[in-house]
């Protein structure tokens, strides 16, 4: 019970110290403002202008401020910044290695397109009425075709021989041979 009373007295004491400190600080700030107001002298000859305490009507000496000086890097504030290292300009006519490598790059052309490898499997053949037709399989698809017929709109049968079938890859016009066992 004694500690509860002790706490109350401590809280009341802290409250009293806080109020006293606030009053002292308030008085000091008012005194500082009064000192500043007295230092400013009002402009004489003001005709009918109402000024509040501390405001005067003086012009600033702008001509005495001087011009601002900017650094050379501050010229273009919207310049593009690139993190790619800058390349140095080298005259290739004086360096034969660079000249030769550039000529090789010009000579290089993209590789010519080639037909994909044949994915057909030969299943057999049938000869009827003088026409030979072959049976081919590709993945899950089975095809029956004769000379001149198309398969998948990509291949056409060119010739059928005893030991080989010639297929033409239509997009490039490349002839490919499928060997028969």
Q: What is the pLDDT of residues 128-172, one digit of tens each?
A: 998 999 999 998 999 999 999 999 889 999 999 999 999 999 999
Q: What is the mean pLDDT of residues 93-113?
A: 72
Q: What pLDDT was estimated at residue 57?
A: 67
Domain for residue 40, yes or no? no
**CATH number where 167 lies:** 2.30.30
Domain assignment present for residue 12? The answer is: yes
Angle at CA of residue 35, ends 33 and 40, nearest 5°: 100
Sign of CA dihedral 19, 21, 22, 28: positive
Q: Quick check: 26 pLDDT over 70?
A: no
Residue 62 lies in a domain: no
Residue 150 belongs to a domain? yes
In a domain, 149, yes or no: yes
Given this model, what pLDDT does residue 92 score? 45
What pLDDT sits at residue 72? 63
Contact residues for 123 (Cβ-Cβ < 8 A; gap 6+)? 134, 135, 136, 137, 142
Confidence of residue 125 (pLDDT cuts 50, 70, 90): very high
On whether residue 54 sits in a domain, the answer given is: no
* Res 59: pLDDT: 79
Domain membership flag for residue 11: yes
What is the number of structural domains in the chain?
2
Q: How far is CA 171 from CA 111, 114, 115, 156, in A?
A: 16, 10, 8, 11
Domain of 173, in residue numbers: 121-179
Q: Where are the alpha helices (DSSP H) in the chain?
A: 2-39, 96-107
Is 112 within a domain? no
- Spatial neighbors of 153 by CB under 8 A, at least 6 apart, are 170
More reliable by pLDDT, 161 or 33:
161
Residues 145 and 137: beta-carbon distance below 8 Å: no
* C-alpha–C-alpha distance, residues 114 and 111, integer Å: 9
Q: Average the pLDDT over each of 26-30, 71-75, 133-137, 158-162 and give the range with the smallest value.
A: 26-30
């Amino acid at each position: 019970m004694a500690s509860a009373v002790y706490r109350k007295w401590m809280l009341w004491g802290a409250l009293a110290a806080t109020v006293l400190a606030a009053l002292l600080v308030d008085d000091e700030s008012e005194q500082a403002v009064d000192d500043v107001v007295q230092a400013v002298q009002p402009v004489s000859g003001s005709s009918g202008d109402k000024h509040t305490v501390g405001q005067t009507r003086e012009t600033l000496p702008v001509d005495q401020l001087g011009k601002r000086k900017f650094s050379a890097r501050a010229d273009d504030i919207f310049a593009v910044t690139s993190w790619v290292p800058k390349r140095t300009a080298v005259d290739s006519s004086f360096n034969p290695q660079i000249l030769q490598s550039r000529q090789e790059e010009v000579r290089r052309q993209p590789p010519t397109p080639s037909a994909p490898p044949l994915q057909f499997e030969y299943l057999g053949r049938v000869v009827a009425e003088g026409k030979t037709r072959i049976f081919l399989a590709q993945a899950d698809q089975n095809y029956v075709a004769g000379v001149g017929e198309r398969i998948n709109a990509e291949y056409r049968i060119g010739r059928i021989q005893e030991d080989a079938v010639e297929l033409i890859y239509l997009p490039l016009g490349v002839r490919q041979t499928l060997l028969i066992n």
